Structure 1
Amino acid sequence: MTISAYSGTDAGRLAPAMDPAEILARQRERESAARTYARTLPIVPVRAEGATIFGADGRSYLDCLSGAGTLALGHNHPDVVQAITETLSRGAPLHTLDLATPEKDAFTDELRACLPPGLGSDVKLHFCGPSGADAVEAALKLAQTATGNHTLLAFTGGYHGMTSGALAVTGNVAVKSPLPAAMSVVRLPFPHPYRCPFGVGLGQLPTAGPDGADLSIRYIERLLDDPLGGVTAPAALIVEAVQGEGGVVPAPDDWMRAIREITRRRGILLILDEVQTGVGRTGRFWAAQHSGIAPDILVMSKAIGGGQPLAVIAYRAELDVWTPGAHTGTFRGNQLAMAAGRATLRRVRRDGLDERAANLGARLLTGLRELARTRPHVGHVRGRGLMLGAELVDPAAAADAAGAHPADPRLAALVRAECLRRGLIIELGGRHGAVIRLLPPLIITEAQASRVLATLADALDAAVRRLVTAPDRSNPTDRPRGEPTPADREDAGRGAQ
């Protein structure tokens, strides 16, 4: 059936009439095979407010993706809209390279006031290109320049972007395999509560002994100190306090403190990637604050621009060894992003939205655990603040030595489609794409949070039923509304930072 036009209350603003099916068809014809979200979320947004997106199909959707965590205040928050409108009405230049402007000065003041303690009062900022991957590239280059070393340490499950250097330290094998190695990177084991790299879990051993986090620390120390370990002097270690694209895996606080001590004792710079975890997402303004550590270099993007493209690194002043022009980027002077970002940082800080994320996230985590208790296809639930994940598994298949059942990516894809049918936008991540990820805006209401849990439970039950009946996937009549077409079914990997 052809849908003629958006039939919502704003139909009068949208001319000419739109056929969302035709728009999606044109996108498939015109855009690259690398597109991701458009394949699995085949909707055409036309308006958005708070945690709600209104589609050209006349339906509303509760957004638990939030631009991959970019929209801390949700869509079109009044503070952000006002900041952008005032900047435009003043006739401010929108593109200024790295020139000083009142907008940039005000944003810098606000950002410095929000930075985690320990970076120092004389902390330096570098404005990068518009994405988190650009900021990761800058952090890696700075560390190599400052130390004179080239080897980088990164973790299994880590995600840092899709550009050359960022991809080198990213763990996803599928997207790295077609490309030559760009940097010397040593991969280290990240502690995982369900899929432990050592096969023992975290704090789940039947007998006394080291758990996965302890073994990770012991392994890293021995490897770095082993003269036959093959690791040349590292420039830096890059880590996420909560792995996002890797499946929403929080690092234990004690483990983070141990990593900080390992790097400090050996003169290795610690780069903390807070691209997705920053600005209140995990229940503290920065995820590092849960463990009380301070990195040498902090990588920021996504929410710091208030929904507009912006990326920044902050680092200790003694690392400011670059010469002029050593790292540049045309779009590092995005004035609208700085205005929107300042408004976002200020609102999160003034309203204590990080604390609210902690409280509401704890409620959602409890609800997800209750859902897992009664549904064996939910193998593990985890997260911090409003950064939550539920890993879907095949409970009929044999578990491994640590008690983890095999991931079930097909079920996860069905759950995503069933959620979309019910007006809930979620995404997937983790190994095999089997982890349901929730990244709602920090302003999501308690009623909306309850709706998320109820919709997820209903969608999971429906997906399990569909998996059992296993309809003919080649027949388009078997495909429910909201599920991608066969042309869009192939998975092109996770979205870029």
Structure 2
Amino acid sequence: MTGRENRAAVLTELPGPLSRKLLAEQAANESSARTYPRNVPIAIAGGSGSYLEDLDGNRFLDFLCGAGVLALGHSHPGQVAAAHRQLDVSTHLLDFPTEAKQEFTRRLLSLLPGDMGERSRVHFCGPTGADAVDAAIKLCKTYTGRGDVIAFHGGFHGSTQSTIAITGLRSSKEHLVNLLPGASFFPYSSCFRCPLALKPESCEINCAQYLANVLDDPNGGVRKPAAVILELVQGEGGVVPARLEFVQQLREITRRLDIPLVIDEVQSGCGRTGTWYSFEQYGIEPDVVVSSKAIGGGHPASVIIYNERMDGWKPGAHTGTFRGNQLAFAAGAELMRVVAEEGLLENVREVGGFLREGLLELQRRHPFLGDVRGLGLMLGVEVVPVNGWTAAQLADRLRRASLERGLLFELAGRDDVVVRFLPALNLSRAEAAEALEIFGAAVTETAKECERSPGTDSPGAASEGTKP
């Protein structure tokens, strides 16, 4: 990174000449499943804090942050120092106890609300969130002796063959013949686009009632499952927070029927929503919590945290070579120290609220910004069609116009029509104001383009499938 003032600055066309060279090499060497560089065409030189720099010297305010992995931004000095210290000790030690691992575990359990940590066990999984989801389902099957799983429309739980089976995105599974059997999908409380065509003011949380009716009905066709799994804020599904009453009724239903409730906090966890885990804001205690992405402090790690009554696994029942990533334990413990000791959650709530208000102000002035939603620093803006332009066209133009001004983010939701912001949790108010300035300029440019002529283009960048 250069010593320039900490502001975004785009100096070349995108992609610049050096980025173009590496992007061409990548296209020649890597699989066609690559996603991010297709829509954000830059080759990265490095990052510091909330900023990234490409090989051509262009500087971007990063509101993607490794899809939420980099909770403290790029090259956080405390995490870098912790990883460096650990490099002198060891980097990989299977599931042997180490000081780094025990410090990580102690801090992880201490961040759970109330006395939940005293009644919980931790299992270290492979390096990805999908590995942890797979372990959570396996644990629930072992505990209950049942085999089916209930998931929700719009949910995303991974890209492995087992986790795709409980993921809502149909395009990722249509070409696969055999998947994990026994998955059933139910409506999620997405009030902006209610799957039951109801309005919040007149709804009686019918989505939760529908689930209860099916499970209670001897002719409902769905067997009592081993688990119910959901995200409380759907990430890839379009940054959709679940309605409070929906979650609380779902917890009551699963408790009454003795069905383990698995909360997937892979993207929403580790302080992202303003509490360490999003379930704290819903007044519930899950049976199993899935955590990954930011938990390793920028290094691959995933865990499940579950009620000790479910700990019926025999030795070796669920293993994984890379479940002992010592760099992740050291850097992850540093993340948890910063959260606990430096007021990071308060910053997430305060700066997240500032960002949200700025986005709401833009929404009031521009009709193609249909909905602003999210919790903390997990925010989304859903784009809707206007003047003959499809939502996909408009969202793609917003992404491109923002990138050309120095703001990097990606799209989410059905047809990639939701602008998704996942900035660093230590984002400053000044950086948030800069992001609003850049995004506001991109919105204004897009609005003028809509006014000049009806939309006639192809619907933006073709969807590459869900991004992790």
Partner deviation per Cα, 1:164-216 (whole Å, 9 max, x = no partner): 2211111101111111332211111101121100112323xxxxx325xx111
1:136 maps onto 2:133 in alignment:
yes
Partner deviation per Cα, 1:34-91 (whole Å, 9 max, x = no partner): 1111111111111211100011111110000111111111111111011011112xx2
2:361 match: secondary structure: helix
* Structure 1 residue 457, shift from structure 2 partner: 1.5
Alpha-carbon RMSD across the aligned residues, in angstroms, is 2.0
1:441 maps onto 2:402 in alignment:
no
- Report the TM-score when normalising by structure 2: 0.93
1:365 maps onto 2:362 in alignment:
no
Identify the residue that residue 295 of structure 1 maps to in structure 2: 286
* Structure 1 residue 19, shift from structure 2 partner: 2.3
1:43 maps onto 2:42 in alignment:
yes
> Which letter maps to 2:424?
P
Identify the residue that residue 466 of structure 2 maps to in structure 1: 494
Identify the residue that residue 81 of structure 2 maps to in structure 1: 82
1:176 match: secondary structure: coil
> Which letter maps to 2:430?
A
Identify the residue that residue 8 of structure 2 maps to in structure 1: none
Partner deviation per Cα, 1:281-329 (whole Å, 9 max, x = no partner): 1111110010121100010001111111000001111111111221111
Identify the residue that residue 478 of structure 1 maps to in structure 2: none
1:456 match: secondary structure: helix
1:149 maps onto 2:132 in alignment:
no
Quote the Cα distance in structure 1 between the aligned partners of 2:181 and 2:280.
Answer: 30
Shift in CA distance, 149/407, structure 1 to aligned 2, threshold 3 Å: farther
Quote the Cα distance in structure 2 between the aligned partners of 1:118 and 1:264.
Answer: 19
Identify the residue that residue 429 of structure 1 maps to in structure 2: 412
Identify the residue that residue 243 of structure 2 maps to in structure 1: 252
Gaps of 5+ in 2: 5-16
> Which letter maps to 2:112?
L
Q: Is the 8 A contact 1:280 1:286 kept in 2?
A: yes
1:75 match: secondary structure: coil
> Which letter maps to 2:218?
P
- Report the TM-score when normalising by structure 1: 0.88
1:450 maps onto 2:422 in alignment:
no
Quote the Cα distance in structure 2 between the aligned partners of 1:120 and 1:319.
Answer: 14
Identify the residue that residue 401 of structure 1 maps to in structure 2: none
Q: Is the 8 A contact 1:132 1:302 kept in 2?
A: yes
> Which letter maps to 1:69?
G
* Structure 1 residue 268, shift from structure 2 partner: 0.3
Report the more deviating stretch, 357-366 or 336-345.
Answer: 357-366
TM alignment of 1:8-87, pairs within 5 A: 8=2, 19-87=18-86
Report the more deviating stretch, 435-444 or 91-100.
Answer: 91-100
Quote the Cα distance in structure 2 between the aligned partners of 1:169 and 1:349.
Answer: 34
2:198 match: secondary structure: coil
Gaps of 5+ in 1: 1-5, 11-17, 204-208, 398-405, 475-485
Partner deviation per Cα, 1:2-61 (whole Å, 9 max, x = no partner): xxxx9x459xxxxxxx92211110001111111111111111111211100011111110
Identify the residue that residue 195 of structure 2 maps to in structure 1: 197
Q: Is the 8 A contact 2:45 2:55 kept in 1?
A: yes
Partner deviation per Cα, 1:108-167 (whole Å, 9 max, x = no partner): 111111123464514111100101011000001110111011110111110111112211
* Structure 1 residue 473, shift from structure 2 partner: 7.2
Identify the residue that residue 207 of structure 2 maps to in structure 1: 216
TM alignment of 1:94-243, pairs within 5 A: 94-117=91-114, 119-179=116-176, 180-203=178-201, 209-211=202-204, 214-243=205-234
Quote the Cα distance in structure 1 between the aligned partners of 2:337 and 2:455.
Answer: 51
1:338 match: secondary structure: helix
* Structure 1 residue 472, shift from structure 2 partner: 9.5
1:275 maps onto 2:258 in alignment:
no
Q: Is the 8 A contact 1:192 1:202 kept in 2?
A: no
Q: Is the 8 A contact 2:172 2:466 kept in 1?
A: no
> Which letter maps to 2:183?
V
Number of aligned residue pairs: give it: 453
Q: Is the 8 A contact 2:130 2:159 kept in 1?
A: yes
2:142 match: secondary structure: helix
Q: Is the 8 A contact 1:411 1:464 kept in 2?
A: no
Quote the Cα distance in structure 2 between the aligned partners of 1:155 and 1:119.
Answer: 26
